[in-house]
Amino acid sequence: MADISRTEPTQSQVARPSVARPNAARKILHADCDCFYAAVEMRDNPALEKIPLAIGGTADHRGVIATCNYPARAYGIHSAMPTARALRLCPELTLLPGDFDRYRQVSQEIQTIFHELTLKVEPLSLDEAFLDVSDVTRFRGSATWMARWLKQECLSRTGITLSVGAAPSKFLAKIASDWEKPDGLFVITPEEVDDFVTALPVKRLHGVGPATAAKLKAMDIETCSDLRRWPIDALLERFGKFGRRLYELARGIDDREVRVERERKSVSSETTFHRDLPDLNACLEALPPLAEKLEARLARHGYPALDRVFVKIRFDDFSMTTLESVGREPTVAAFADLLERAWPRGQRPVRLLGVGVRLVNAEARRQLGLFDGD
């Protein structure tokens, strides 16, 4: 990695308000902490650094891995993997429960550093965020120098290693931050976008999971260059609305803004059971505590306007289904009705059960307000 010794402006200079430059090209950073939860544990206990380490639930309680360090990843362990499988891959794995109060505190320290560079910060989780630095004039306006400063300050102040990607768009910045992990810094300039995207495997595009990647491969599409040969009408026909997104991303088009305030879209409550619920009756009996927990969460959010209610079921074979209903209140009776209609889709023991609500978005509330009376 390049030397990041400071030859650029100091922290006190970067913290001052910046002045917008008219018609400046967009400069987006995606900052992502490397194996964040594990990194905090290794920082506080250096004896954990060189051994396989994972943060997650225990195997006897049907736990899953939240994250793991790089020695553990060498065994094929990854986030969202069942803990039991991780322990089979690496019997000597050190497993720790998550200390989320401590992780949130470290996250706040890192977010403070982000906001010293720009106020245009969109947190995605405790350990990653987008930053729009288009108008930042410090560091001579260089996104590369800004990324180096972020990495240096994060490491020196919190002991956490940051990987940063810089690009003219959010989707490319996120790809760039993952390009040279861990401790990475990768920059895609506007002049490099077309060549970079042309050679990019389609499986790296945002929203392309294993099923979509397999469908694209069946169409002989493995890179964005292959994807560009398909007209938009054909992609819409095969992928619906996502076909337009594929068409745009294959050309490096992503005009999404960094959103300082992210609007909550749903509130939910779910439980992964220590033992599978054997049948529908057992699932129905598990609903009242979930509905009660959901009610408490809605109260904390000031009872936001609701659009619909839903149930979520993950069966013992890890298949999942959800069912929604518009215009109903989040009552046990409403969830029971949805559950009775959704469970027959799998008719198997249930590993996870969830209930929740979709919220009316701000734009819809504004439109409804046009019709309100005095």
Report pLDDT for 361. Answer: 65
Q: What is the bridge-based pairing of β-strands 121-125 and 94-96?
A: unpaired
Q: Which amino acid is at 221?
A: I
Statement: residue 371 has pLDDT above 70: no
Question: What is Dmax (Cα atoms) for the chain?
Answer: 68
**Element holding 276 (H helix, E strand):** strand 266-277
Helix, strand, coil percentages (3-state) for the chain, rounded to 5, are 45, 20, 35
The span from the CA of 110 to the CA of 126, in Å, is 9
Structural contact between residues 334 and 325, judged by C-beta atoms closer than 8 angstroms: yes
* The pair of three-digit structure tokens given for residue 368, joined into one six-digit string: 């409804």
Binding residue per annotation — 32? yes
Q: How many CB atoms lie within 10 A of CB 31?
A: 27
Binned at pLDDT 50, 70 and 90, residue 368 comes out as: very low
Q: At CB < 8 A and 24+ separation, what contacts does 301-305 make?
A: 301/264, 301/267, 304/264, 304/267, 304/359, 304/360, 305/359, 305/360, 305/365
The span from the CA of 361 to the CA of 60, in Å, is 40
Q: Nearest CA to 129 among 16, 36, 203, 19?
A: 36
- Of residues 61 and 324, more confidently modeled: 324
Query: What are the pLDDT digits (tens) for 111-135?
Result: 999 999 999 999 988 899 999 999 9
The span from the CA of 359 to the CA of 100, in Å, is 26
As a whole number of Å, the CA-based R_g of the chain is: 23
Give the CA distances from residue 200 to residues 31, 184, 204, 222, 315, in Å, rounded to whole numbers and listed in that order.
21, 18, 7, 9, 35
Report pLDDT for 262. Answer: 64
Report pLDDT for 14. Answer: 41
Statement: residue 54 has pLDDT above 60: yes
Q: What percent of the chain has pLDDT over 90?
A: 68
Judge whether 363 counts as a catalytic residue: no
Structural contact between residues 25 and 134, judged by C-beta atoms closer than 8 angstroms: yes
Mean model confidence pLDDT for the chain: 86
- Of residues 265 and 143, more confidently modeled: 143
Kindly give, in sequence order, each residue whose CB lies less than 8 Å from that of residue 190, ignoring residues fewer than 6 positions away.
Answer: 25, 168
Structural contact between residues 11 and 138, judged by C-beta atoms closer than 8 angstroms: no
Statement: residue 4 has pLDDT above 50: no
Kindly give, in sequence order, each residue whose CB lies less than 8 Å from that of residue 345, ignoring residues fewer than 6 positions away.
Answer: 313, 321
Q: How many CB atoms lie within 10 A of CB 288?
A: 12
Query: Catalytic one among 8, 41, 122, 128?
Result: 128
Query: What are the pLDDT digits (tens) for 220-235?
Result: 999 999 999 999 999 9
Q: How many CB atoms lie within 10 A of CB 127?
A: 22
The span from the CA of 322 to the CA of 342, in Å, is 7
Report pLDDT for 60. Answer: 75
Report pLDDT for 13. Answer: 39
Query: What are the pLDDT digits (tens) for 279-328?
Result: 999 999 999 999 999 998 888 777 778 889 999 999 988 888 999 998 78
* Domains of the chain listed by start with CATH number: 1-188 (3.30.70.270), 194-249 (1.10.150.20), 266-365 (3.30.1490.100)
> Cα 59 to chain center, whole Å?
25
User: In the chain, how many H helices and how many E strands?
Assistant: 16, 12
3-state secondary structure of 60: helix
Statement: residue 265 has pLDDT above 90: no
Binding residue per annotation — 127? yes
Q: What is the bridge-based pairing of β-strands 65-68 and 94-96?
A: unpaired
Q: Nearest CA to 183 among 199, 159, 200, 206?
A: 159
Query: What are the pLDDT digits (tens) for 326-366?
Result: 878 899 999 999 999 999 999 999 999 999 999 876 444 44
